[in-house]
Structure 1
Amino acid sequence: MTGSPAELRARAQSASAHLPALILSAERLAAMVAPGAHGLRRGGPGEDFWQYRPASQGDTARAIDWRRSARSDSQFVRDREAQTAQAVGLWVSAGQGMAYSGAPDRPTKADRAQLLALALAMVLLRGGEKVGLLGQPARAGRVQADRLAQQIVARRPQGGDGDAPAADHLRPNQRLVILSDFLDDPSWVDDLLARASGMGVTGVLMQVLDPDEEVFPWTGAVLFRSLSGAFRHDSRDAGGLREAYLARLAERRDWLRRRAEGAGWHWGHHRTDHPPAVALSWLYQVLAG
């Protein structure tokens, strides 16, 4: 997407004006989620207790938890949870379709996805994790939250209704959170997950939709037009399309869920009229688990 210097300057000013509100909203949302540091859910050097496990060959007498072992006929080792910071990558679709909102009192899909991404980053950063946008360095610390906010709002809308993350930006063993409406051609998902599997990358696919896109409330004569202008359909009986549309949406979601689960990823979806704290808590929990 290109434009004159004046248009580029206007977009930059609009993004800058939006930044303080986004940061404040994300901070409030992040405060609703317990930001305690979490490890990678495996044994290793750390301070937090993880689990008791039966002693095995190779465990030294010093490693045995004798107090726990005294309560049974077996010997147990007290494992601690590894506290190695994990690198988390975030990607928010900038397709023009994300700018849709079915009502003036609802956020656009892009606004909600940006809010969730930044709030999640804040929670993870408070827990000592390294976070970055996909393709950008993952860093820790409060300053990184401000940097991420600027990068998120500065990303310009793409030319089409949807877009896709660049698979060559993946880094080994990172965790990745993809926020999109997934309404455009989803063929890139297979390519991304295949490459991710080969690099030890796991993560989350989260679909963000406006409620109108979930319930299809239209009836009568309706002109359907995508925000990019690439799609246009003039219907005289929109209500007659509802059943087929809902079936296609369910089919798309099932396809995405099966692809995600087959690659060891998580799949979730969120409506913009639902509380963002619920989606944020879920994202945090699946990354921590």
Structure 2
Amino acid sequence: MTATTAHLRAGAEAASADLPGLILSAERLAAMVAPGAHGLRRAGMGEDFWQYRPAGIGDSARAIDWRRSARSDAQFVRDREAQSAQTARLWVSSGQGMSYSGSELRPTKLARARVLALALAMVLLRGGEKVGLLGHPARLGRAQSGPLAEQLLRRPMATGDGDAPKADELRPNQRLVILSDFLTDIDWVAPFLARAAALGVSGVLLQVLDPDEETFPFDGAVTFRSPSGGLRHDSHDAAGLREAYLMRLAERRDRLRRAAETAGWYFTCHSTDQAPAHALGWLYQTLGR
């Protein structure tokens, strides 16, 4: 057995071991959100009310809403909103930086991002939508949650602290959810979102951070190392760096928010010490806008 084969086998076995826990966590989280098919914002076959319009040629007496028509001299038809299976794609960063957790009592950023992604997929699948990871086929049916979980777990970690989705994997008129810490180079974000907008792809950027990365609680002499080992900084007064760090974090978030708004996307943040249900509900509701 070659070293490469052994490495792949070990990775597959590790992913399989984590699979039941990921699926169970995602199922519990998904159960907190009531699924429903997202409307297409036009009249058609569906269950939800869309609009009243004046009755015209071709409308049968059965189609007329007599209660609404009784309030005026005209006859009105009650249109429903068209609904059909839409397609959502998910992308979770596998940068080395996503493996960070500042406490054994908290999940890593990668673990939380995977659970959120899979739980969102489960809710969308229950609502009759097609779901797939970016670069993989999107399919219908609740049974797809198992393969999606495997794909999330078996995706290899990047060699560096960060990574980026591939613009050539975008497909027209879909929705995309990107989960990352966005702490490394984000020069790719604006051009990627511009390409997405040109293809009619809407979506969400969700920044997942550990509380230590939100507040920078460090003090005294601290050696900072990136998970990949590519960066190192020795500080004798870590508290003295706090203000500058928080300012740069705020500037980075403003940059991400502006890029999202320019492309018609949405941006928000989630900390791993927060309950994931709120983030999941926000993701689901935002995708339906």
Tell me if both proteins adopt one fold, taking TM over 0.5 as the criterion: yes
Give CA-to-partner distance per residue, 1:57-87, whole Å, 9 cap, x none.
Answer: x775546533213224665442212111111
C-alpha contact 1:173 1:200 (8 A) present in aligned 2: yes
1:272 and 1:47, CA in 2 relative to 1: closer, same or farther beyond 3 A? same
Give the alignment of 1:61-210 within 5 angstroms.
Answer: 61-62=59-60, 64-72=64-72, 76-210=76-210
Give the alignment of 1:225-236 within 5 angstroms.
Answer: 225-236=225-236
CA RMSD between the two structures: 1.8
1:42 counterpart = 2:35: no
Residue identity opposite 1:49 in structure 2: D
Give CA-to-partner distance per residue, 1:19-53, whole Å, 9 cap, x none.
Answer: 11000111111111112x22334123223122324
Which deviates further from its counterpart, 78-87 or 111-120? 78-87
Give the alignment of 1:6-17 within 5 angstroms.
Answer: 6-17=6-17
C-alpha contact 1:40 1:86 (8 A) present in aligned 2: no
Match of 1:277 in 2: 277
How much identity, in percent, do the aligned residues show? 66
- Three-state SS of the structure 2 residue aligned to 1:177 is strand
Distance in 1, Cα, partners of 2:77 & 2:262: 34
Distance in 1, Cα, partners of 2:76 & 2:201: 33
Distance in 2, Cα, partners of 1:133 & 1:16: 18
- Cα deviation for residue 186 of structure 1 reads 0.5
Distance in 2, Cα, partners of 1:249 & 1:180: 14
- Cα deviation for residue 122 of structure 1 reads 0.4
C-alpha contact 2:40 2:84 (8 A) present in aligned 1: no
- Three-state SS of the structure 1 residue aligned to 2:42 is coil
- Three-state SS of the structure 1 residue aligned to 2:273 is coil
1:96 and 1:59, CA in 2 relative to 1: closer, same or farther beyond 3 A? farther
- Three-state SS of the structure 2 residue aligned to 1:82 is strand
Aligned residues: 286
- Cα deviation for residue 288 of structure 1 reads 1.7
1:214 and 1:75, CA in 2 relative to 1: closer, same or farther beyond 3 A? farther
1:158 and 1:59, CA in 2 relative to 1: closer, same or farther beyond 3 A? farther
1:187 and 1:76, CA in 2 relative to 1: closer, same or farther beyond 3 A? farther
Give CA-to-partner distance per residue, 1:184-208, whole Å, 9 cap, x none.
Answer: 1111111211111111000000000
- Three-state SS of the structure 1 residue aligned to 2:219 is coil
Match of 1:237 in 2: 237
- Cα deviation for residue 286 of structure 1 reads 0.7
Distance in 2, Cα, partners of 1:185 & 1:38: 36
C-alpha contact 2:225 2:232 (8 A) present in aligned 1: yes
Distance in 1, Cα, partners of 2:258 & 2:174: 21
1:8 and 1:196, CA in 2 relative to 1: closer, same or farther beyond 3 A? same
Which deviates further from its counterpart, 72-81 or 225-234? 72-81
